[in-house]
Amino acid sequence: MIGVKVRVPAKLNLQLAVGPPRGDGYHGLVTVFHAVSLFDEVTVVPAGRDGIAVTGEGADRVPADQDNLALRAVAALRAAVTGAAADRAGVHVTIAKRIPVAAGLAGGSADAAAALVACNELWDAGLSGAQLAEVAGRVGSDVAFALLGGTAVGRGRGERLTPALAPALAPATQYHWVLAFADGQLSTPEVYATLDRLRAAEAAEPDLDAALMSALRSGDARLLGRALSNDLQQAALAMFPALRKTLAAGLELGALGALVAGSGPTCVFLAASAARALDLAVSLSGAGVCRSVARVTGPVPGAAVVPVAS
């Protein structure tokens, strides 16, 4: 085997409820993750020592050294596997980015998850999904979800996951989303810190939104649009006021719901159909309220090996 290529999706948070800061620098949260069809591709090949190259969307803003989350994931997996696989030499990781960097879409976490799946395969390490998820949880809060994909409830820092819908009950609904990418970035730790400052009183412990879960069970996009929520949005808007205009424009143009993606600054809009999403995307790009737009659908599966054409 020469190398392994893995495709991994971006995530949205359909709900992001943030509790008070914890002693360890993180916030307890309850979130509903949703994987969408915007993918990075990560390829690993054996090498004398670990190295990385990044191409594509925002590549110049991704650290191309040991600080890269994908290389940290490689090191974490190497430490977790025992026996022959643990002795493997280095790997060279190539990341082809389409998920914008520091955009609230967990692109860095996605690349880390992809690196875990790829090295597990390359080294024939045989870790189960649950074992990979445990390593992922140590690498970053959103990494475990990028392995799983679909729609899932995250607790703890976001790394403790349960599927949002029992498979037998899950309607085959595909939702149509429009992403509006901003001209700029937001730092996740700074957005969390701003939220702490903006909150006058100690935040309540976060809770799963029953209306959102009921909307997901019904598969009704109108109900889902009304139930979208993100506690980080007020902080992202305080730091990036132009996003107010973007959100307002999308709603004005007929989106069923609008919110900031994760810690931002990407804005997310839910459309009633593929045709409405196309209209919305065209109108939003014409309105001059964002850098560019993308149409995506969700849910999609998590990180998966791309078969190499023989």
Q: Smallest distance, Å, CB 157 to ligand C5P?
A: 4
Residue 236 near ligand C5P by CB under 6 A: no
Nearer to ligand C5P, 122 or 232 (CB): 232
Shortest Å distance, C-beta 242 to ligand C5P: 23
Closer of 119 and 144 to ligand C5P (Cβ): 144
Q: Which residues, 154 to 183, sit near ligand C5P by CB under 6 A?
A: 157-158
Alpha helical stretches, state H, the chain: 69-80, 107-122, 129-139, 143-148, 188-198, 210-218, 221-227, 233-239, 243-252, 274-287
Residue pair 89/68 in contact (Cβ under 8 Å)? The answer is no
Site for ligand C5P in 131-150 (CB under 6 A): 140-142
Answer for which of 175, 177, 192, 240 binds ligand C5P (CB under 6 A) is: 192
C-alpha to C-alpha distances, 252 to 124, 244, 255, nearest whole angstrom: 52, 12, 7
**CA-based Rg of the chain, rounded to a whole angstrom?**
19
Joined together, the tokens standing for residue 159 give 């790394």
What are the Cα distances from residue 220, in Å, to 11, 217, 227, 301?
20, 8, 11, 21
DSSP string, 168-185: TT-----EEEEEEE-SS-
29 touches ligand C5P (CB under 6 A): yes
Is residue 72 part of the contact set for ligand C5P (CB under 6 A)? no
C-beta atoms surrounding 57 within 10 Å? 19
Among this protein's residues, is 11 annotated catalytic?
yes
- 5, 7, 11, 27: which one binds ligand C5P (CB under 6 A): 27
Name which of 270, 260, 258, 271 is nearest 184 in CA terms: 260
220 an active-site residue? no
26 binds ligand C5P (CB under 6 A): yes
From the CB of 296, what's the least distance to ligand C5P, in Å? 21
| Closer to ligand C5P by Cβ: residue 107 or 257 | 107
Binding site for ligand C5P (CB under 6 A): 25-27, 29, 109, 140-142, 157-158, 188-189, 192
Please list the active-site residues. Answer: 11, 142
